[in-house]
Amino acid sequence: MEKKPLFVRREFPPREMSSTSLVLLLAAVLLLNTFLYLYLNKFYISSGRAETDPGLCPFGYFKLGTVKNCSPWLSCEAINREVRKLKCVGEGAVKKVFLSEWKENKVVLSQLTNSELKEDFLHGLKMLRALQSKYVVRLLGYCEQQFTILTEYHPLGSLRGLNETLHIPKYKAINTWHRRLMLAMDYVSVIQYLHSSPLGTFVMCDSNDLDKVLSQYLLTSDFHILVNDLDALPLVNRSAGRLVKCGHRELQGEFVAPEQRWPYGEEVPFEDDLMPPYDEKTDIWKIPDVTNFFLGHVEGSDIVRLHLFDIHAACKKKNPAERPSAQEILDTYRKVLTLLIREAALPGTREML
């Protein structure tokens, strides 16, 4: 007698997604895209990044805090009469920086310390005045005769302290890959602005190592980035055949671009007159290293690095002409941010479709 198997395997036809489920899924994807648009729009426009003057005041005016009315930039007389120094908070080769007070507002007073560098100081003031925008620290006043500049105070300080700030308990919730990527986007936005400013193409020369780069930028209380130091900002003018050189000394190390290094070998002593000039693509070379710092080592940061690998490899092309523009890098960063947020929100969408 033939024994019948206890279990019989049955073949089920593949399960098909109902039209209702498909419509619901597509609606969810559409809703997510709308959410992403509003989310990114919020951070790039509403949160202090609008394409307008940071204080919404006419050129030559400013406002601080909750004050509604715009005030003219403070003059020498007003600075001497109304600004009170509190303490020295920093000193560089060109100037000394004081935390100060003006009408119960914390402000920053910068004063020249080395008379031999007064031209650098005045150039920085000229650039600070001319480039006032959402990318540049807010100017409150100045006194050329006394070599004094007054700017807005940002308590979180320079980008040197970014990692320490993000580990403070009150900020731990925003110590995420997408917030860090958005900071990198802010940084590239500043570079893009300097490369395409109304006055022409400028090169950020105070950038010979990572620490120096970070010291040139401020972190705002709503976690955006402002350039703070514009003392070394030469102008590229291709139509006039004018390129730049960042200083008169030999630059070394992998952080600076290849065209910034002495090209004639160790057997030929460095001479500034023989050093070839270069253009703004030196800033592009440094972007991957600065972004790597921004991304840190939080969960998800390595995935971001993987998505940015190709654009960062292009930034490191030895031929400057082959490197992308800051705008192309910024566009890529935005696409990666949108893609990764979408995948995080609906991780199984691609497979379901």
pLDDT digits (tens, 9 = 90+) for 197-254: 999 999 999 999 999 999 999 999 999 999 999 999 999 998 888 999 999 999 999 9
Can you read off the two tokens belonging to residue 170?
Answer: 């009150």
Per-chain mean pLDDT for the chain? 88
Domains of the chain: 72-153 (3.30.200.20), 154-344 (1.10.510.10)
For residues 326-345, b (16+ Cβ closer than 10 Å) or e, as one string? bebbbebbbebbeebbbeee
Are 45 and 37 in contact by the 8 Å Cβ rule? The answer is no
CA-to-CA distance for 29 and 35, rounded, in angstroms?
A: 10
pTM, whole model, 2 decimals?
0.84
pLDDT of residue 45: 41
Q: What are phi and psi of 81, to 5 degrees?
A: -85, -35
pLDDT of residue 222: 94
pLDDT of residue 353: 41
CA-to-CA distance for 334 and 184, rounded, in angstroms?
A: 10
pLDDT of residue 48: 38
Three-class HEC string of the chain: CCCCCCCCCCCCCCCCCCHHHHHHHHHHHHHHHHHHHHHHHHHHHHCCCCCCCCCCCCCCEECCCCCCCCEECECHHHHHHHEEEEEEEEECCCEEEEEEEECCEEEEEEEECCHHHHHHHHHHHHHHHHCCCCCECCEEEEECCCCEEEEECCCCCEHHHHHHHHCCHHHHHHCCHHHHHHHHHHHHHHHHHHHCECCEEECCCCCCCHHHHHHCEEECCCCCEEECCCCCCCEEEHHHCECECCCCCCECCCCCCHHHECCCCCCCCCCHHHCCCECCHHHHHHHHHHHHHHHCCCCCHHHHHHHCHHHHHHHCCCCHHHCCCHHHHHHHHHHHHHHHHHHHHCCCHHHHC
CA-to-CA distance for 275 and 78, rounded, in angstroms?
A: 45
Q: Which residue has the higher pLDDT, 43 or 169?
A: 169
For residue 10, pLDDT beyond 90: no
For residue 313, pLDDT beyond 50: yes
Closest residue by Cα to residue 214 from 183, 245, 239 = 183
Residue recorded with tokens 């006055």: 199
For residue 327, pLDDT beyond 90: yes
